[in-house]
Amino acid sequence: MPREAIRRRRVQSLSRSIWLTTGAAVGGVLLLILLGSRPLPTVTIPTSPPRPYVAEGRTLGAANASLVLEEYGDFQCPRCGEFALGTARQIEEAYVATGQLKFVYHYFAFLGEESIRAAQATECADEQGQAWPYMDTLFANQHGENQGAFDKPHLEAFAEALGLDRLKFKTCLDTNRYRATVLRETQAGRDRGVQGTPTFFLNGQMIFGALPFEDFRHQIEIALGAGG
């Protein structure tokens, strides 16, 4: 039957088109998934202590504390990381929580571009009130110097892991709005005689290096004694 034959050929051709279309659709979707699934950086989130004494920005502790301990740090400096996740916690617990000491973190971004970017990112996290958890996360995720540990995807992944508003953070970072702040603060450190990190100032007196807690305690007790 010629009519039946024409119909069959038409259905065959349609069915071939359907398979082709299906193939194209599946291929297109696989391509989209591949494009979208850039490997997300793995992020270590350190446990941050509850900090009812966060004053503002990068300042911890009561405004009227008799002592001020300032740190000039670089997020890529391993000793700064050890200090932040170790000794600093002990100092916080012993002196900041009790209202005797105010702790201020200053940027001293001298180890390269990723140090500057990490400091800018901290300012962006600070916009959302998360400077301290962000700094802890930076220190917990150090990996070499300027090797990509603090590149843009990582900095954004840290923010995301901490539950920050991603778009707001991204906009802040992309616009470089805090670059000048970071560079100015680093220069201010140089002007005060800082040459390496971490450098501390206890009530204005310079202490160099991530000393053990005992040494800090000794110095703080002396200063408290002198003040009281």
Partner 1 sequence: MKAKKTLPNELLIVRGMLVLSLLGLGISIYLTAVHYTETPLVCLGTSGCETVNRSAYSEVAGIAVALLGAGAYLAILGLLGAEAYTLIQRQTAGLNVFGIALAGMLYSAYLTYVEIFLLRAICSWCVISALIMTAIFALALVRLRLIAIS
Is 9 an interacting residue with respect to partner 1 (CB under 8 A)? no
* Interaction between residue 15 and partner 1 (CB under 8 A): yes
Q: Does 21 bind partner 1 (CB under 8 A)?
A: yes
Is there binding between residue 157 and partner 1 (CB under 8 A)?
yes
Identify the residue among 28, 99, 144, 148 touching partner 1 (CB under 8 A): 28
Size of the site for partner 1 (CB under 8 A): 24
Closest listed residue to residue 182, CA positions, set 150, 208, 140: 150
Options 48, 86, 160, 211; binder of partner 1; rule CB under 8 A: 160
Written as six digits, the tokens of 8 are 């069959």
Q: What is the bridge-based pairing of β-strands 199-202 and 101-107?
A: unpaired
The yes or no reply on residue 45 touching partner 1 (CB under 8 A) is no
Establish if 24 lies at the interface with partner 1 (CB under 8 A): yes
By CB atoms closer than 10 A (0-12, 13-18, 19+), residue 167 is: exposed
Give the integer Cα–Cα distance in Å for 100 and 194: 25
Nearer to partner 1, 4 or 191 (CB): 4
Enclosing H/E stretch for 166: helix 166-174
Q: Does 206 bind partner 1 (CB under 8 A)?
A: no
Q: Is 36 in the site for partner 1 (CB under 8 A)?
A: yes
**142: how many CB neighbours lie within 10 A of its CB?**
20
Both tokens of residue 146? Answer: 């300027």
Interface with partner 1 includes 222 (CB under 8 A)? no
| Residues 182, 41: Cα–Cα separation, whole Å | 25
Residue 165 touches partner 1, criterion: CB under 8 A:
yes
Rounded CA-CA distance 83/182 in Å is 21
Question: Site residues (CB under 8 A) for partner 1?
Answer: 11, 14-15, 17-18, 21-22, 24-26, 28-29, 32-33, 35-36, 40, 156-157, 160, 165-168
